[in-house]
Amino acid sequence: DTGVSQDPRHKITKRGQNVTFRCDPISEHNRLYWYRQTLGQGPEFLTYFQNEAQLEKSRLLSDRFSAERPKGSFSTLEIQRTEQGDSAMYLCASSLSGGPYYEQYFGPGTRLTVT
Amino acid sequence: AQKITQTQPGMFVQEKEAVTLDCTYDTSDPSYGLFWYKQPSSGEMIFLIYQGSYDQQNATEGRYSLNFQKARKSANLVISASQLGDSAMYFCAMREGTGAGSYQLTFGKGTKLSVIP
C-alpha cells in the first residue's frame, strides 16, 4: 500500500496561468476528495468523487476550478487563470465506501504559489 | 457559527507528560463523526482517532484518547506520555449525517503542539 500520492509537490506559477494537479488515491479506495488549506487554517472541502462521478462541490469551487476523475482512479484538479488568492496547499484524500466511519487518508499535498 | 472550534492556537507540553487539546463542535444532526488529524511540518494529514456520535465509550488508539462529552459538544484529544515527535499541528474535524452529502470533513483551525525536551 503506497498511500495517496500527489504531483507536483510544489508549483510556482504566474498570475493568469493555468495549472493542473494530479492525485493518485489508495488503489482500492473508490472515494476521492479535494481540500484546500491556506496558511493558519484547517483544510476546506472543495469536491468529492465516488468512482468517476463528482457528487459534491463546495461553493469555494469557482468556475475557474474543475476536477475530473475519468476512470475512477486518479483525479486531476485544474485551476484556470490563477489569481494570487489561489495560493494554498491543495490536499487530496481517499477513502473506502462502506467503511465504519469513512476515514479519509490524505496525500502530502501540492503547494501552489501564484506570483 | 463555527462548526468546529479549537480555542488553543498553541500549546506546550513537557516530554513524557500528558496534554489535552480542546475541540468543541456545533451540529443539529444526531448522527455525526468526530476525527482528529495530526499535520507535521511536512504537510501530510495523519489520521489519529475517531468518535461516532452514537458510540457509548470514549475512543482510544495507543497513546491517543478522545474525551467525548456529548451534552457539552466537546471532543478533546488527550495525548499521554508526549514524545518529541508529537510536535505538530492538530486538527479536529467533523462529518455530519449519513446521507450522500455527508462525506466532507469540516475542520477547525488547529492547535500547534510543541513538546519540550
In tens digits, what is the pLDDT along chain A, a chain of 115 residues? 579 999 999 999 999 999 999 999 998 888 999 999 999 899 999 999 989 999 888 888 889 999 999 988 999 999 999 999 999 999 999 998 765 567 899 999 999 999 9
Q: Do A101 and B46 touch (CB under 8 A)?
A: no
Q: Whole-angstrom Cα distance, residue A42 to residue A69?
A: 25
Buried b (16+ CB within 10 A) or exposed e, B15-33: eeeebebbbbbebeeeebb
Give me the pLDDT at residue B59, please. 95
Give me the pLDDT at residue B101, please. 58
Q: Do A103 and B47 touch (CB under 8 A)?
A: yes
Give me the pLDDT at residue B15, please. 97
Give me the pLDDT at residue A46, please. 95
Q: Which CA distances in Å does B73 have to A18, A59, B67?
A: 43, 27, 11
Give me the pLDDT at residue A28, please. 86
Q: Do B93 and A41 touch (CB under 8 A)?
A: no
Res B42 pLDDT > 90:
no
Question: Which of B104, B106, B111, B112 to substitute to test the interface with A, most A CBs within 10 Å?
Answer: B104
Give me the pLDDT at residue B100, please. 57
Q: Whole-angstrom Cα distance, residue B52 to residue B68?
A: 9
* Range in A98-102, B6-10, B95-99 the model is least confident about: A98-102
Give me the pLDDT at residue B25, please. 97
Give B47-67 pLDDT, tens digit per residue: 999 999 999 899 999 999 999
Under 8 Å between Cβ of B97 and B105: no
HSE-up (13 A, CA, CB side) for residue A76:
10
